[in-house]
A and B are shown apart, each in its own frame.
Chain A
Amino acid sequence: MTQSEAASPETRKRRDRSWRFLLRALPGIMVAGLVTFICYGLGLSVPVTGFCYLIVVVLQSLTGDFRSSAVVAVLCAACLDYFFIPPLFSFRVSDSSDTLALIAFLVTGLVVTRLVSQTREAADSEELQRKEMTRLYELALQLLALEPGTAVGPSLLIPFRSQFDLRAVCLFDAETAGLYVEGNSRDGIAEKTRDAYLGRRNFEDPGSGLAVRMVQAGGRTTGAIGFEGLRDCRLTAGPLAALATIMLEHSLAFQRASHAAAMAETEMFRGVVLDALAHEFKTPLTTILAAAGGLHEAGPLRPEQRQLAEAVESEASLLEQLTTRLLRLARLDRAEVRPQMELIDVADILKALVDQYSRRWPGRRLSLNGITGATTLGDPELLRFGLGQLLDNACKYSRPDSDVRVSIESPGELIAVDVWNDGSPIPSNERARIFDRFYRGAEAQKQASGSGLGLYVARKIALAHGGNLDLDGPAGANGGTAFRFTIPLSNSEFDHDP
């Protein structure tokens, strides 16, 4: 491989520099001299000598190129004329038939030379193609053997340069605007690659063997790759660019996969932390609650002692509720929500929740309107949690002493719960994202702390019931923020055997 690699540039140089073909013609010239000497010495006739010269021309064209063979052919014709066609030792020709023979010899010699060298060139080009194919194949193998995590950058370009013996390789990654060059460029490969990308146009300069090709992934141009020192731009640049594209896609897919794996790991870590928290937090809380409860039982307390014991108990209970809610939220976020359906009255659940939140938020005026009976199939725990989340948000993101209105109605086959507060309207650019996991609006972050999970989980619960949770319930028509939580009204009488 190395030998042929060394020889091939020679071929190129020989084509470029005209005097080189004379060197190639030298063996032919010498053999022609030898044939002249022998034929002259043996006194052979013109036709026989002519055929001998023809052999020399054919042999020369088998080893040399067209120009050197042509030189030998002309030389042989000259020798034939000078030494064998009368008058001897003169280039003149006296007989017209001899002139014809000489012309016939020259034409035959040149045609043979042309045909043979054409065949040779075709074979050479085929050989070159075969070699390029072999190199491409080996390059593909090398690229496949790279570590899958190899970053997009110079390390990816090394095999290209070494395998094709290039002066320089350059990659422009449009996504990161990264420009990577491997090797020593003489023709400004970096600028040409970037310019070609900016113009979205392949570039080719056969003189310096420089070619730039667009790198396309998923139907769009994601960058450009340039090669400098290619032997045959048209033949090789395309397949090389295709290989680079595959390699880049491969590398990106791997990066995406490792990102996903890292995310999964984080998720698992979160789960472990939550579980640990659940246990570590709840035992001391239980102890505090039991101690506060025990104080009551232990003996008659003075009124102020009783008050203090009650404060400990109620605050610890609050802490317990908060912890449980947060853990529940995290668990519902991670797990698939599977409602355990039973016959429930949504209006009842709502009434209990409004009472509970009125106590928890004495600074908000909570009101409940609408129908009193809304019986359907649902999971009471989940609905309590999901609707509670909406009430919690409504209280959290509203001004002190403002109204929080909750209403329930049953339009058609639905039960719809509207929760309204007079909080500032959600900006249009955030509207689509507020149900996203972990998303917290800019305004929301300023107003209160939160996990960014509440609305996501509440919607998950509504969807699991075959309903939905939307922003902009009809209650929001006159300003404020309104959410509408719907679940289907099931009036299906269950069957069971009598």
Chain B
Amino acid sequence: MTRKFNVLVVDDEPPLRSVLRTSLSACGFAVEEAGSAEKALEIIPQRAFDIVLLDINMPGMGGLEACRRLRALTPHLGIVMVTVRDAESDIVLALDAGADDYITKPFRFGELVARLRAVLRRADSGDVPAALHAGNLEIDFERRLLRRAGKAVHLTPTEFDLLALLMKSRGMPLTHAKLLSSIWGPEYREELEYLRSYVRALRKKIEDDPSRPKYILTEPWLGYRFHNPSEDEP
């Protein structure tokens, strides 16, 4: 890692906070703690944080509302929500509230570090590149071209928009509602089957084995995530 990233751990459980502080510090992060969402909103403007690890379930304001306010306050701050499994609706709300990613309790520490780094890398690499490589895919956003292993792939305009949106947010989960309303418009938010058939079509065109996708990954119950195999090794 080239520079030390500032992480704010927001959780109401002191033991978890202190363990995360020690462990993340050992991984080279500069760690600050906040015991509540209110406290986090107070600390954040005072220091330049790169990323916030925000628990959803906290007494008081809670993680969701904090996420919404943080997003409005500091658009470039990376936000990773911490939630418990089987609370898909919470995760959808969190992502729609502007979180970059989520991780479910209990998580392995290695997984947490990988998620944090993915969000930081994306934030670090600037807003929208003109072109992007991912595995054997090469996309040119301006000329609306996709090459797979050097060969041009024909995509319909909607398929291209969908893939471009997923690739621009690579590594981050995008909810069904977000994808649908961005590509087709807000009135299509509920048309899940629509989205699924397009994802199937896209997978047929870009995946080596559409039933075992390595680019467009399904986030069960939530949406999809574009995975860039080239970014697997930090």
A contact residues vs B (CB 8 Å cutoff):
278-279, 282-294, 296-299, 313, 316-317, 320, 324, 327-328, 331, 340-345, 348, 375, 379-381, 494-498
Contacts and interface: CB of A to CB of B under 8 A. Distances in A.
Given A283-B16, A348-B212, A342 B23 contact: no
B84 interface: yes
B196 interface: yes
Contacts of A296: 109
Nearest to A282: B105
Per DSSP, chain A at the interface is helix
Interface string B203-216: 10000001110000
B89 interface: no
A328 B105 contact: no
A298 B26 CA distance: 5
Contacts of A286: 16, 105-107
Given A344-B211, A494-B200, A497-B156, A290 B16 contact: yes
Contact of A327 (B19, B86, B108, B221): B86
Interface string B15-27: 1100110111011
Nearest to B15: A287
Interface of B: 13, 15-16, 19-20, 22-24, 26-27, 57, 84-86, 105-110, 112-113, 156, 158, 196-201, 203, 210-212, 218, 220-221
B26 A494 contact: no
Nearest to B18: A287
A340 B13 contact: no
Contact of A289 (B85, B107, B201, B211): B107
Nearest to A379: B220
B106 A495 contact: no
Contacts of A293: 23, 108-110, 112-113
Contacts of A316: 106
B57 A495 contact: no
Given A342-B200, A345-B212, A290 B156 contact: no
A298 B84 contact: no
B98 to A, nearest CB: 23
Contacts of A284: 15
A342 B202 CA distance: 13
Chain B at the A interface: SS class: helix
A491 to B, nearest CB: 13
Contacts of B84: 278-279, 282
A291 B201 contact: no
A342 B196 contact: yes
B26 A299 contact: yes
Chain A to chain B: the 8 pairs with minimum beta-carbon distance, closest first:
A293-B109, A294-B23, A297-B26, A285-B106, A286-B106, A298-B26, A345-B211, A282-B105
A46 B200 CA distance: 124
A137 to B, nearest CB: 56
Contact of B57 (A279, A291, A341): A279
13 contacts: A282-B106, A283-B106, A289-B107, A290-B112, A294-B109, A324-B85, A324-B86, A340-B220, A381-B220, A494-B200, A496-B198, A496-B200, A498-B156
A276 to B, nearest CB: 11
A478 B117 CA distance: 55
Given A293-B109, A320-B106, 6 more contacts: A278-B85, A279-B84, A291-B22, A294-B109, A344-B211, A381-B221
A270 to B, nearest CB: 15
A160 B220 CA distance: 64
A278 B86 contact: yes
Nearest to B159: A496
B27 A297 contact: yes
A342 B106 contact: no
Contact of B211 (A287, A297, A341, A375): A375
A294 B26 contact: yes
Contacts of A498: 156
Given A282-B105, A289-B109, A328-B86, A294 B22 contact: yes
Contact of B19 (A291, A344, A494): A291
A283 B105 contact: yes
A316 B108 CA distance: 9
B82 to A, nearest CB: 8
